[in-house]
Amino acid sequence: MRNKGDFLFTSESVSEGHPDKVADRISDTVLDCFLAADPEARVACETLVTTNRIVLAGEVRGPASVTQELLVEATRAAVRDIGYDQSGFSWRNAEVQYYLHAQSADIAVGVDSDGNKDEGAGDQGIMFGFATRETETLMPAPIHYAHGILRRMNELRKSGDPRGRGLQPDAKSQVTLHYVDGRPVGATSVVISTQHDEGMAQADIREALRGIVADVLPAGWEVPEDQFYVNPTGIFVIGGPDGDCGLTGRKIIVDTYGGAAPHGGGAFSGKDPTKVDRSAAYVCRYLAKNIVAAGLADRCTLQIAYAIGVSQPLSVYVDLDGSGHDVDEARLERVLREVVDLTPRGIRKHLRLNRPIYAATAAYGHFGRTPDPAADSFTWEKTDLVETLQQAFNR
């Protein structure tokens, strides 16, 4: 997204009950089960969900205590927590097919440390991080508010609040913002599609959602009535995996920056942190956020590249998009390598990623979240490098 001019920009989000997010949640639940038993476990779990059927497949390496029975039970618990107990998809009786097998020895030998060889990256790839002063979370505003609407809907649905009555788990949102001189000044349209109880009047759904949107958007950003779209196709009773097949890793733009920044193409969910698709994307966000939080720039895009089996990154690239405050980008790239060990092992240790913290990341974005001190989660959202970066640039 450009940082100057007058334009409209749109981002979308999907709820935890969207079929692809159900798949992400299950994959990350499997990952958490392995990491709870062994912090060094290796997991690459893909999930498919459809009408009353869940398919687990992929490669794992972990203790025998993580049994098929344990993972099937955890899968059902995840579906129950999301809220699916419908005739077409229920945690109680959905068939769970299990096709997880041992990790390839060819991959393991490239990743494992051995003698003088440090642990290598679990795959080749390019990962991006981004931060901007548009919101208090240093996230792009369109995805920030799109997530916020669905998160609020979910809270009301699960709490039993009257405003969430009749709403079912599957939902999508889309927010279009008006930018003037590169800064968001208001919303021009909001789209929400939500699964609901049979027989529920669309006018009632619209009224409830209008209040939810007003709670989330800044004051004065109310959209015109003819630009507020609720269930544009009409009735939305059949939803979730019963209405549409879901797969792990199909919402990578929802998971990151809503299209406002580049994406390397790798998905996150179901992958242990030796996979740089996940861990390096997290450290890219961490570094970009700390750069902006330190006042070195108003926007930051950061890229890191890896080769499979190689521990050190092939490149570190920083683009401040003309918003830097007397900061040399080439020097900043060198400083970042000094303040954080960017090897896969170094990233995992710095952000404490070898823990069962991932089910919570599966919906409403991996970035822009508030770290939970009790769970020590979302460590990549902390701004604990601010002072170090400021000292490096004499601020």
Residue at 100 is within a domain: no
d(CA 77, CA 170): 17
The answer to whether the annotation marks 25 as part of a ligand binding site is no
Q: Is the pLDDT of residue 109 over 70?
A: no
- Report if residue 74 sits inside a domain: no
Burial class for 90, CB neighbours closer than 10 Å (0-12, 13-18, 19+): middle
216 pLDDT more than 80:
yes
d(CA 111, CA 275): 9
pLDDT band at 108 (very low <50, low <70, confident <90, very high): low
- pLDDT tens digits for range 277-293: 999 999 999 999 999 99
Of 219, 238, 257, which residue constitutes the final position of a domain? 238
Q: Do 362 and 298 lie in a common domain? A: yes
In a domain, 204, yes or no: yes
103 in a known ligand binding site = yes
- Given pLDDT bands bounded at 50, 70 and 90, which one contains residue 123? confident
Whether 286 and 369 share a structural domain? yes
Position 2 confidence tier, pLDDT thresholds 50, 70, 90: confident
Q: What are phi and psi of 215, to 5 degrees?
A: -70, -30
Q: What is the CATH number of the domain that holds 305?
A: 3.30.300.10
Same domain (yes/no): 234, 280? no
Average pLDDT of the chain is 95
Is a pLDDT exceeding 90 seen at residue 3?
A: no
Query: Are 277 and 127 within 8 A, CB to CB?
Result: yes
Count: domains in the chain = 2
Is 28 marked as a binding-site residue? no
Residue 368, domain member (yes or no): yes
- Tell me: do 283 and 363 sit in the same domain: yes
Range of the domain at 332: 125-133+275-392
Residues 148 and 129 in one domain: no
- Tell me if 4 is assigned to a ligand binding site: no
219's CB contacts (< 8 A; 6+ apart) are none
d(CA 170, CA 336): 40
46 within 8 A of 270, measured Cβ to Cβ: yes
Dist CA 184 CA 98 (whole Å): 47
Does 38 show up as a binding residue in the annotation?
no
Give the model confidence (pLDDT) of 79-90 as tens digits: 999 999 999 999
Where a domain ends, among 187, 218, 238? 238
* Residue 160 forms part of a structural domain: yes
Q: Would the annotation count 321 as a binding residue? A: no
Per-residue pLDDT tens over the stretch 197-212: 999 999 999 999 999 9
119 is in an annotated binding site: no
172 annotated as ligand-binding: yes
> Which of 238, 266, 300 delimits the end of a domain?
238
pLDDT at 106: 58
376 in the same domain as 282? yes
pLDDT of 107 over the 80 cut: no
CA distances from 22 to 75, 207, 309 (A): 10, 27, 31
Q: How confident is the model at residue 8 (pLDDT cuts 50, 70, 90)?
A: very high
Residues 164 and 196 in one domain: yes
251 is in an annotated binding site: yes
Q: Are residues 219 and 147 in the same domain?
A: yes
Task: Give φ, ψ of 134 to 5 degrees.
Answer: -65, -30
Q: Which residues contact 249 (CB under 8 A, 6 or more apart)?
A: 24, 46, 267, 268, 269, 270
Same domain, 324 and 346: yes
- Residue 55 domain-assigned? no
Q: Is the pLDDT of residue 117 over 70?
A: no
- The answer to whether residues 129 and 148 belong to one domain is no
- pLDDT (tens digit per residue) in 370-389: 988 888 899 999 999 999 99
What is this structure's pTM? 0.95
Same domain, 129 and 167: no
State yes or no: 352 annotated in a binding site.
Answer: no
C-alpha 282, offset from chain centre:
10
Separation CA 146–CA 50 (nearest Å): 25
